[in-house]
Amino acid sequence: MKRGKKYLAALEKIEAGKKHTLDEAIAKLKEIAFAKFDETVELTMWLGVDPRKADQLVRGTVVLPHGLGGAAKRVVVIAQGDKIKEAEAAGADIAGGDDIVEKIKGGWLDFDALIATPDMMGKVGQLGKLLGPRGLMPNPKTGTVTMDVKTAVEETKAGKVEYRVDKTGVIHSPVGKVSFDEEKLKENARVLITAVMKAKPSTAKGRYLKKINLAATMSPGVLLDELAYV
């Protein structure tokens, strides 16, 4: 891939192979960020797991203390009765039952997160082919299938993010924006790293955290010292 002049200039400011503390990495990232828009800061973690094995699928959610910045998440809730009112009171953008299911069947996907109560999953399950590829399918493991819709909506609005290891054993997750002050980025990153480390499968052998990297949307990555987190 051919890189632009600004990317190459940023790359020159990074010492190849050098591992940084989190403080150093965030400072360096802010120094080299060059895009005209407010770039997303992403943490990438290479894990010593075999994602082909069900008991080594590292997945979960975490509420970042300072959210992710940018536009607020558009949250939809599929429920019945009083749970619809509970969802609306908690700040859901849209809440309903069969009407929402039919709307999604018709191709409507104008939302960022979908929460459903367990009693509606029989109908929501029919939407798997539409929701699954977009990462929108509710799942008990991520707290999006629950009777406690109030907490689920509030946490999602507050900046709850899902982390999930991909087929190569890598987790990519946003932790904020370049415009965040360094302390907020540091706290968000620490919360995510801690959650992933706690999620280590008991069946994983050898070193769990192999490599960790911090990067903005357009910039080269800055290596962190993974040994500081094991």
Reading the chain (230 residues) residue by residue, the pLDDT tens digits are: 667 888 888 888 888 889 999 999 999 999 999 988 999 999 999 999 999 998 998 988 898 988 887 667 899 999 999 999 999 999 999 999 999 999 999 999 999 899 999 999 999 999 999 998 888 999 898 889 999 999 999 988 887 888 999 999 999 999 999 999 999 999 999 999 999 999 999 998 899 999 999 999 888 999 999 988 76
Vertex 168, ends 175 and 126: CA angle to 5°?
Answer: 80
The angle that helices 149-158 and 82-90 make with each other, rounded to 10 degrees, is 20
Q: Which of 134, 73, 130 is nearest to 100 (CA)?
A: 130
Residue 78 CB partners (closer than 8 Å, separation 6+): 95, 96, 97, 100, 101, 114, 115, 116, 117, 120, 123, 124, 138
Q: In angstroms, rounded to a whole number, what is the distance separating the alpha carbons of residues 213 and 224?
A: 6
Q: Which of 203, 152, 200, 202 is nearest to 45 (CA)?
A: 200
By the 8 A CB rule, do 62 and 156 touch?
A: no
By the 8 A CB rule, do 214 and 41 touch?
A: yes
By the 8 A CB rule, do 220 and 32 touch?
A: yes
Sole residue written with tokens 């999620």: 199
Within 10 angstroms of residue 183's Cβ, the number of other Cβ atoms is 11
Q: In angstroms, rounded to a whole number, what is the distance separating the alpha carbons of residues 10 and 14?
A: 7
Q: What are phi and psi of 146, to 5 degrees?
A: -165, 155
**Any bridge partners for residue 162, and if so which?**
61
By the 8 A CB rule, do 57 and 51 touch?
A: yes
